[in-house]
Amino acid sequence: MQDFAQEFSLALRLILTGDPDLWEIVLLSLQVSLTAVVIAAAIAMPLGAALAVLRFPGRRAVIVLINALMGLPPVVVGLLVYLSLSRSGPLGVLQLLYTPTAMIIAQVLLVAPIITALTRQTVETLDAEYAEQLRSLGVSRLASVPTLLWDGRLALLTALLAGFGRAIAEVGAVIMVGGNINHVTRVMTTTIALETSKGNLALALALGTILIALAITVTAAVSALVERGEGAEVRHA
């Protein structure tokens, strides 16, 4: 117990003194995960919205597939990205293995299905309310997608939050394609795993604390934004 207290005190000191190694890891984690979420959102939101408004043969099967991909095991994604980027793989020529870009690719694959599925659900609900009105105003089904995405923005923030949560907490895929190389691809989760196995609990605890604080801060910020948006509608009523 005394050891734990000592390690925790060391961890706090690392955080408060602005240990450069620790903050480098934190910044790389944020850079990788935020980039992955932005790229995934750019692909997944229009895709989810199009799935919600368009009707085509096999649509149900696509929706089931995307819902299933929400639970995609990270190590499987890691393996697929590893095989694709390895020297003998189809994308080996790009020499991306063990780089932050490889980690971003893996996280995009993990996050995109989550944002697609949640966007589809949000937009479909909104479309049920808007469809006739937009059609009456001369807006075609496909042209209604930007309107639905914009009007569903508060609910879609939650989809982005879910995606960010998945990305920032991910270990399996990023360790396989990133390699956990010091000062290159070491992120919070992979460092926690490594340092714990080495018995360096102070750094692991410091990163764990920051990870939890980040999760709480981001969730609180998004919740505040959503409540502010919804509250503005109620306040004037």
Partner 1 sequence: MRDFAPDMAMTFQAEGLRVGRNGVTLLNVDHLAIDGPGPTLILGPNGAGKSLLLRCLHGLVAPDAGRVLVDGAPCAEALRTRQAMVFQRPVLLRRSVQGNLDFVLRRRGVPRADRPARIAALLAEGGLAQKARQPARSLSGGEAQRLAILRAMATDPEVLFLDEPTSALDPSATQAIEALILDASRRGIRIVMVTHDIGQARRLGQDVVLMHGGRVVEHAPAARFFEAPETPIARRFLAGALVI
Binding site for partner 1 (CB under 8 A): 129-130, 132-133, 135-139, 147, 150-152, 154, 232-237
Shortest Å, Cβ 161 to partner 1: 19
Alpha carbons 85 and 23: distance in angstroms, whole number? 28
Nearer to partner 1 among residue 87 and residue 236 (C-beta)? 236
Pick between residue 55 and residue 235 the one whose CB is nearest to partner 1: 235
Q: Is the CB of 112 or the CB of 149 nearer to partner 1?
A: 149
At its nearest, how many Å lie between partner 1 and the CB of residue 127? Answer: 11
- The residues near 62 (Cβ < 8 Å, ≥ 6 apart) are 51
- 148 vs 210, beta carbon nearer partner 1: 148
Q: How far is the CB of 141 from partner 1 (least distance, A)?
A: 12
**Ordered DSSP codes for 112-148:** HHHHHHHHHHHHHHHHHHHHHHHHHTT--TTTHHHHH
- Please report how close the Cβ of residue 63 comes to partner 1 at its closest, in angstroms: 24
Q: Considering beta carbons, is residue 18 or 138 the nearer one to partner 1?
A: 138
The token duo for 131 is 């469809």
CB of 134 to partner 1, least distance (A): 8
Count of residues for the chain?
237
CB-neighbour burial class of residue 50 (10 A; exposed 0-12, middle 13-18, buried 19+): middle
**Alpha helices, DSSP H only, in 54-99?**
59-69, 74-85
Residue 65: Cβ within 10 Å count: 12
